[in-house]
Amino acid sequence: WGKAGTNQERTFLAVKPDGVQRGLIGDIIARFEKRGYKIVGLKMIWPTEEMAAAHYADLSKKPFFPGLVKFFSSGPIVCLCIEGKDVIKQGRQMLGETQPLASKPGSIRGDYSIDLGRNICHGSDSPESAAHELKMWFPEGVNDWNKAVDSWVYE
Ligand code: RTP
């Protein structure tokens, strides 16, 4: 389970504080469910500043880091582990670009966001970051389920 390159590849997705406050949790989850992906981990957490800083540790030298940490810890987020073929890459496509202006309509950011620092959701950008972020946000692990439906999604 969870191995990149298989039909059980897993990624970490978060509905950021702005997405939660704007009532977009259901829509974001529905997009992944409807596409055929499985929600195998799901919970709401209000991140501390320490958790936010750890999540964005690779950006710690950037001038916008303090504001990013403050924003990411400003309210509850929804943590999701989503499973399926190519979900890391496809998930990033469904999110859109980091910059909302560059995000196509039809993507989550292209449909719901305007400003870079309020871009609604996060998704892991590589197998390495997915493994790292899933360990950080789901230390208790996620659920293995429902392999029986796979033949209706994969040939
Ligand atoms: P995320 O990690 O949140 O999914 O976003 P990302 O991979 O698409 O982009 P990343 O480079 O990791 O940046 C993380 C978040 O920081 C904010 N940001 N602000 N002011 C700025 O120049 C700037 N650059 C990035 C964005 O909210 C971005 O999602």
Structural domain that includes position 83: 10-139
Residue 148 lies in a domain: no
Residue closest via CA to ligand 1's atom 22 equals 64
Q: ∠ CA 21-95-10 to the nearest 5 degrees?
A: 100
CB 121 within 8 A of CB 139: no
Ligand 1 atom having least distance to the Cα of 71: 27
Sign of dihedral through CA atoms 78, 121, 108, 111? Answer: positive
- Averaged over successive runs of 10 residues, the pLDDT of the chain (155 residues) comes to 90 98 98 96 98 98 98 98 97 97 97 98 97 97 81 88
pLDDT score at 146? 67
| Nearest-CA residue for atom 6 of ligand 1 | 98
Task: Look up residue 7 and give its DSSP letter.
Answer: T
Is 4 within a domain? no
**For residue 150, is it within any domain?**
no
Q: Which of 24, 103, 122, 133 is catalytic?
A: 122
In whole angstroms, what is the distance from residue 53 CA to residue 109 CA?
23
| Domain harbouring 72, CATH code | 3.30.70.141
Cβ–ligand 1 contact at 11 (below 6 Å): no
Q: Is residue 62 part of a domain?
A: yes
Q: Based on the structure, what is the number of domains in the chain?
A: 1
Examine the residue annotation and report whether 122 is marked as an active-site residue of this protein.
Answer: yes
Please tell me what DSSP assigns to residue 5: T
> Is residue 155 included in any domain, yes or no?
no
